[in-house]
Amino acid sequence: MRSKLRAQAPMALAGLALFFAIGGPSFASDAVGNATRLITGKQIKNNSLTTRDIKNRSLLKVDFKAGQLPAGSQGPKGDKGDQGAQGDTGPAGPFPDGTVPSGKTLRGVYMVVAPGGFGAADTHSFIFTLSAAPTTHFISVTGSAPAECPYVPNPRPAPGHLCVYETGSTNGASVSVVNPETNNAAFASPRGFAVVVAPSGPSGASSNGSWAVTAP
């Protein structure tokens, strides 16, 4: 019996050698592939991989946490680019021709302080020009506003009228509204007006309030 097994042993070894010769590499390749798919981060010990385990120049920027890669030095200034195309024309301003449109109301405030024995004035510009000089109205603290000067939170005088509403006064000041260009008290300038305060005695005086004008 032993002699029979001894006679068959070379045959078995030859068959095994033939199996590995034919299917060995494929078997080994499949085994490596399966092992690769099975190895994950859980099987790798923390801090166990070193630079020797990583292929040079194989890592990308996305492999690093934000802020880990230092910024490089600033490069040289580049050449000036070509001039871009001209942009579209913007919308016209509120008063393109510089004249306040008819019916448009402008509003503001004033305050004049005159020292004792001297007069003082506070000049206001409309910024934009009216098409004509407005008729002026001064409404004192104790006075009543005419129909052309309705006083509401946002006063809106009749077109072509300037209304100056006094809300505070000291020492019986004498107040008038004039055209600073002509000193005319009936009509303001199309460009603005002045409030003039004159003390009624040796003490100083003051006047303050608001104004509104509606373009004719």
What are the tens digits of pLDDT across the range 133-150?
999 999 999 999 999 999
pLDDT for 192 equals: 96
Report the C-alpha dihedral over residues 170, 173, 178, 181, rounded to 10 degrees. -90
User: Is a pLDDT exceeding 70 seen at residue 6?
Assistant: no
Count of structural domains, the chain: 2
Range of the domain at 110: 105-214
User: Is a pLDDT exceeding 50 seen at residue 9?
Assistant: no
Does any domain span residue 194?
Answer: yes
Residue 183: CA count within 13 A, CB half-sphere = 0
Does any domain span residue 11?
Answer: yes
Quote the tokens at residue 12: 């078995």
Question: What is the pLDDT averaged over residues 142-163?
Answer: 93
pLDDT for 78 equals: 86
Question: What is the pLDDT averaged over residues 154-174?
Answer: 92
User: Is a pLDDT exceeding 90 seen at residue 42?
Assistant: no
95-132 confidence digits (pLDDT tens): 767 789 999 999 999 999 998 778 899 999 998 999 99
- Cα 206 from Cα 120, distance rounded (Å): 9
Nearest to 176 by CA among 139, 143, 150, 149: 139
Does any domain span residue 75?
Answer: no
Q: How does DSSP classify residue 144?
A: -
163: β partners: 137, 212
pLDDT for 19 equals: 47
Tell me: do 120 and 200 sit in the same domain. yes
Question: What is the pLDDT averaged over residues 23-43?
Answer: 57
Tell me: do 34 and 109 sit in the same domain. no
pLDDT for 137 equals: 96
Does any domain span residue 88?
Answer: no
162: β partners: 136, 213
pLDDT for 138 equals: 96
Give the lowest-confidence range in 31-35, 69-73, 75-79: 31-35
Q: How many CB atoms lie within 10 A of CB 128?
A: 18
pLDDT for 3 equals: 47
Give the lowest-confidence range in 13-17, 48-52, 192-196: 13-17
Does any domain span residue 77?
Answer: no
Tell me: do 200 and 117 sit in the same domain. yes
Q: How many CB atoms lie within 10 A of CB 189?
A: 21
Does any domain span residue 201?
Answer: yes
Extract long-range pairs of 61-65: CB within 8 Å, 24+ residues apart: none
Distance of CA 136 to the CA centre of its chain: 41
Nearest to 106 by CA among 61, 159, 38: 159
Q: How confident is the model at residue 13 (pLDDT cuts 50, 70, 90)?
A: very low
Report whether 137 contacts 161 (CB < 8 A). Answer: yes
Tell me: do 30 and 114 sit in the same domain. no
Residue 88 burial (10 A CB sphere; 0-12, 13-18, 19+): exposed
Tell me: do 196 and 117 sit in the same domain. yes
Does any domain span residue 150?
Answer: yes
- Cα 55 from Cα 125, distance rounded (Å): 78
Strands of the chain, DSSP E = 105-114, 120-125, 135-139, 161-170, 174-178, 192-198, 205-214
Does any domain span residue 53?
Answer: no
pLDDT for 2 equals: 44
